[in-house]
Amino acid sequence: MAGKNPLQKCFLFIILSLNLMSLHAETGQKKTYVVHMDKSAMPSPYTNHLQWYSSKIDSVTDPKSHEEEGNRILYTYQTAFHGLAARLSKEEAARLEEEPGVVAVIPETRYELHTTRSPRFLGLERQESERVWAERVTDHDVVVGVLDTGIWPESESFNDTGMSPGPSTWRGACETGRGFLKHNCNRKIVGARVFYRGYEAATGKIDQELEYRSPRDKDGHGTHTAATVAGSPVRGANLLGFAYGTARGMAPKARVAAYKVCWVGGCFSSDILSAVDQAVADGVHVLSISLGGGISTYSRDSLAIATFGAMEMGVFVSCSAGNGGPDPISLTNVSPWITTVGASTMDRDFPATVRLGTRRVFKGVSLYKGRTVLSRGKQYPLVYLGRNASSPDPTSFCLDGALDQHNVAGKIVICDRGVTPRVQKGQVVKRAGGVGMILTNTATNGEELVADCHLLPAVAVGEKEGKVIKEYAMTSKRATASLEILGTRVGIKPSPVVAAFSSRGPNFLSLEILKPDLLAPGVNILAAWSGDMAPSSLSSDKRRVKFNILSGTSMSCPHVSGVAALIRSRHPDWSPAAVKSALMTTAYVHDNMLEPLTDAAGAEPSSPYDHGAGHIDPLKAIDPGLVYDIGPQEYFDFLCTQELSPSQLKVFTKHSNRSCRHSLAGNNPGNLNYPAISALFPENTHVKAMTLRRTVTNVGPHVSSYKVSVSPFKGATVTVQPKTLNFTTKHQKLSYTVTFRTKLRMKRPEFGGLLWKSATHKVRSPVIITWLPPL
């Protein structure tokens, strides 16, 4: 059994304690718990599982409370995993966990959303790609389930013209409700469902004046992600004239099934799990989940458990990494069977300039277009209310109610980024009489520029420029500035760049598993929008648009989901792990200037803890040459190395015959057949050598020969055996070993790559070597 290092144990204790502290209810107060059950343990007198589950709840609760509160059971789960969601007190939950047949009782978790040109940037519109991506009938057979805020069916992105009837294997439904009728589904939107029992149990009944208790999307986020995955081509798409062109999803002929799990007050795990369970039963091929709820140990992470079941059923699962960057160890959704997606920039920008009274000009970005226009060439008074240009303080963030009209009326106001939404700062400035805003990055965001659809003329600038502008405003008695919005520009270099907000590794649950897995476009993404929400998402904004530009790993996740749908349509027999491997081993780690990928947070080269295997390259991913395949049993054997008790492992054994077969050599989690290779040297300094094993499957030419090369490392020698892999048939499997011998124990992880190269293919794996500090 592989042991956790002290740092990991401390980290896991803290996150588990925080999760439990934040979620446990006061004595006697009811809250929702997800209860995982052992299906095989149902006694014979019961004819179905609902009867059995009901009896279990009855056995730990007061019969009187049933009369007062009605049925305690909110959901039952039976496809991706087995169990139920129920309203219980802390004491009842503790009693239930002791009952026979009950595997785990986990408190409800609240999840948050991780909130055009990208197909061309990814190579999906090049003429040379037409043959590779020529439309096939099988394109229509892939259904992507999107767990989000619902869908706006009238959007042109969901036009089904020319699409054939849905696949015969599809078992989904079109649920109706306020603002959503049967005819709102079509051959593009083949399913639409809502999940709100957990949400209502936690927050009270949904106010239908504020949101739709139906699949209709008021928020816009779900419409945006669904269109990014599989939107039909729409010519002339734009946001107020910005990013004008043809908007299309990654897999424009795939189907969409919308599972609405997110509401004004958040997304709750019991609803999300019911959606995953239902989506798998409905027959989705890909699940796109742009949500995150912090990090928990594998056996306490309900989404990890549910997606394990989805993976067993052949469903590819893509999740956003989170927007906690650039802080290290900020990832969510880190299970190895989930494809965890970080965010990057594209080669499109929305330039704007700030011209100071000194005539010095600074470059920034903006998506402002409105009635208020600053006179071109005119200088306006400039003010910064912070006390220090280098470090923000409460007065510099332009918080609601913090600005005095006497100080800002008729002026351009400098606001530091952070604490509140960027567009909300502009609203605060406008209400106080300001005529414009300069939004300055702090150290957290560095030089990363995110454009927003502001309510007044506004320009966002990087940290370095921001400091200079603030210094000028604080030291000059008559500081002035002018703002100019310049529209849309393409061909930006360098790109892609890792977004500063994109969550970072390492994966402290399992240092042997590299996370994130990949990067995809996630900054300034144009896609379809709800007709009920302003582009700024502010209630005071009365503008309505058909398309909006958003940023976040929420936007990068559906890019990967859509490309996975394309791969799945070409290779319907591939496992989820094979699809992930194709995406990872063909990813690139250099920008369009042929330099190593950089990090927007500091303009330094990024590492695999920032970009994973690299940036997706869909054209190459369709034909990767070799894949690293992993089956459900191997994933389970990985869990067997993670110090989980038999009862904790049982939450993953939907099939009662699943047991630890110890297929990973040396019981080392680093021997999971992952496309990334991570050697973790223990605290014991006597361990100087380590050998990891990988197996590749030939999915390229029947007869092919691959030769290996490995980048050099300062702290270790790396030897691969054999150095050549000779394949004679398609689907043939060959294995190799990688031996690491320590020369010098490094204080920081070392990064490199291992490349298998044939006459036609390159198959690259990131390599990470970590030496844990001696005890």
Distance, in Å, from the CA atom of 508 to the CA atom of 464, rounded to the nearest integer, reads: 32
Residue among 32, 517, 109 nearest 295 (CA): 109
- Catalytic-labelled residue, pool 296, 335, 344, 554: 554
In contact, 482 and 456? CB cutoff 8 Å: no
Amino acid at 686: H
H helix or E strand, kind and range, residue 698: strand 689-698
- Look up 148 and say whether it is catalytic: yes
Q: Which two tokens stand for residue 402?
A: 């913090």
Cα atoms in the 13 Å half-sphere on the side-chain side of 61: 25
Beta partners for 363? 353
In contact, 738 and 678? CB cutoff 8 Å: no
Cα atoms in the 13 Å half-sphere on the side-chain side of 461: 26
Beta partners for 705? 726
Distance, in Å, from the CA atom of 50 to the CA atom of 37, rounded to the nearest integer, reads: 11
- Catalytic-labelled residue, pool 36, 114, 221, 571: 221
DSSP string over 454-517:
-SSSEEEE-HHHHHHHHHHHHH-TT-EEEEEE---EE--SS---B-TTS-----TT-TTS-SS-
Distance, in Å, from the CA atom of 601 to the CA atom of 462, rounded to the nearest integer, reads: 10
Distance, in Å, from the CA atom of 704 to the CA atom of 70, rounded to the nearest integer, reads: 65
In contact, 718 and 737? CB cutoff 8 Å: no
Q: What are phi and psi of 167, to 5 degrees?
A: -60, 145
Cβ neighbours of 24 (radius 10 Å) = 13
Distance, in Å, from the CA atom of 527 to the CA atom of 155, rounded to the nearest integer, reads: 10
Q: Which two tokens stand for residue 106?
A: 């986990």
Distance, in Å, from the CA atom of 406 to the CA atom of 383, rounded to the nearest integer, reads: 12
- Look up 221 and say whether it is catalytic: yes
In contact, 321 and 515? CB cutoff 8 Å: yes
In contact, 301 and 309? CB cutoff 8 Å: no
Residue among 752, 763, 766, 342 nearest 586 (CA): 763
DSSP string over 614-681:
-B--HHHHTS-SEE----HHHHHHHHTTTT--HHHHGGG-SSTT------SGGG-GGGS--SSEEEEE
Q: Residue 62: CB partners within 8 Å, gap ≥ 6?
A: none
- Look up 554 and say whether it is catalytic: yes
Q: Residue 514: CB partners within 8 Å, gap ≥ 6?
A: 505, 506, 507, 608, 609, 612, 613, 674, 676, 678, 766, 768
Distance, in Å, from the CA atom of 302 to the CA atom of 307, rounded to the nearest integer, reads: 9
Residue among 374, 380, 338 nearest 357 (CA): 380
- Catalytic-labelled residue, pool 38, 139, 141, 148: 148
In terms of C-beta density within 10 A (0-12 exposed, 13-18 middle, 19 or more buried), how is residue 43 classed? exposed
Using alpha carbons, list the distances in angstroms from residue 634 to 510, 626, 660, 733.
15, 19, 9, 16
The separation between CA 711 and the C-alpha centre of its own chain, rounded to angstroms, equals 30
H helix or E strand, kind and range, residue 583: helix 576-585
End-to-end C-alpha distance for the chain, whole angstroms: 19
In contact, 498 and 610? CB cutoff 8 Å: yes
Residues annotated as catalytic (active site), given as ranges: 148, 221, 554
